[in-house]
């Protein structure tokens, strides 16, 4: 069996992490960046990728709404690192809100906006399906959207206004996780390969965490940004909703995402998470 893993991911901070890992692992990573969450879901269900990075809310959607029993979340990537970027002003009709799909981070955003606005004003908000993070960032910059949820590197670019209230509202939250199919996880050879990927991935995270200056330079070079912006991004990576630095899923983060999912869908979360594997390294 060749050491080849197909990965589908979004072109946010995950792109920097996966590109960095490519040079630090003996596994051949075949990385594809999806244009929206629907494409990521399709890659999972059609076995087009061995690892699919998507929000934990999307994992719940696939496992519980769509009742696709083969999905397995195997490692936490980050807690969302989400900021509401742009500005809503109903008086000036700035009401265009960019989302990817109705699931994922959009659930948390809708809940936040329901808290902020009266039912009448909430009804004036226009939700536009505008694709993945990098695509929505461009739409925000060219004024075809008024606000959207962004995370690094997009949320720290010049002239991007971040609303501090959303991060406070979100609190503990499980954002992106790496998913696979149980078909791969329970296949001996793929299981070994996935475990090696996980081990190499967290070794890389530790290197980024322990090499402050070098990592900031890498971020600046990769994204073509200034050192101050790269420094802000780097510091954001280690906050509460930042990068996961261990294999362990944190229960408080899982529960927060599950609570938002349950409130939005009316689906009761089973006590046993049959869609999640607590891996302890090897």
Q: What is the pLDDT of residue 134?
A: 87
- Burial per residue of 227-248, b for 16 or more beta-carbon CB atoms within 10 angstroms, e otherwise: eebbbbbbebbeeebbbbeebe
Mind listing the pLDDT tens digit for each residue in 125-137?
999 999 888 889 9
Mind listing the pLDDT tens digit for each residue in 227-248?
999 999 999 999 989 999 999 9
pTM to 2 decimal places: 0.93
| CA terminus-to-terminus distance, the chain | 21
pLDDT grade, residue 2 (50/70/90)?
low
* Residue 274 dihedral angles phi and psi, to the nearest 5°: -75, -5
pLDDT grade, residue 280 (50/70/90)?
low
Cis, peptide link before residue 153, omega less than 30° from 0: yes
Cβ atoms of 216 and 231 within 8 Å: the answer is: yes
| Three-state secondary-structure class, residue 9 | strand
Instruction: Show the DSSP H helices in the chain as ranges.
Output: 13-22, 37-45, 56-60, 105-116, 119-122, 133-141, 164-170, 182-185, 188-210, 212-223, 227-236, 251-265
Residue 222 neighbours by CB distance under 10 Å = 14
């Amino acid at each position: 069996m060749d050491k080849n893993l197909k990965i589908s991911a979004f072109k946010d901070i995950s792109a920097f992490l996966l590109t960095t890992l490519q040079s630090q692992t003996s596994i051949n990573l075949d990385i594809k960046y999806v244009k929206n969450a629907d494409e990521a879901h399709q890659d999972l269900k059609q076995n087009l990728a061995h690892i699919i990075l998507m929000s934990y809310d999307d994992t719940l959607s696939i496992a519980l709404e769509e009742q696709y029993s083969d999905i397995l979340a195997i490692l936490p990537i980050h807690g969302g690192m989400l900021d509401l970027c742009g500005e809503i002003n109903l008086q000036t009709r700035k009401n265009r809100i960019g989302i990817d799909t109705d699931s994922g981070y959009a659930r948390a955003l809708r809940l936040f906006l329901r808290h902020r606005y009266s039912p009448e004003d909430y009804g004036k908000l226009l939700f536009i399906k505008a694709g993945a993070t990098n695509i929505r960032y461009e739409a925000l910059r060219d004024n075809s959207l008024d606000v959207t949820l962004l995370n690094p590197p997009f949320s720290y670019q010049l002239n991007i206004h971040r609303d501090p209230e959303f991060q406070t509202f979100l609190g503990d939250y499980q954002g992106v996780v790496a998913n696979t199919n149980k078909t791969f996880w329970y296949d001996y050879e793929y299981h070994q390969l996935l475990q090696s990927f996980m081990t190499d991935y967290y070794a890389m995270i530790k290197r980024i965490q322990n090499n402050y200056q070098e990592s900031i330079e890498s971020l600046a070079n990769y994204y073509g940004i200034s050192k101050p912006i790269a420094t802000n991004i780097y510091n954001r990576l280690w906050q509460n909703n930042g990068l996961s630095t261990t294999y362990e899923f944190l229960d408080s983060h899982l529960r927060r995402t599950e609570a938002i999912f349950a409130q939005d869908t009316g689906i009761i979360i089973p006590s046993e998470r049959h869609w999640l594997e607590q891996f302890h390294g090897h």
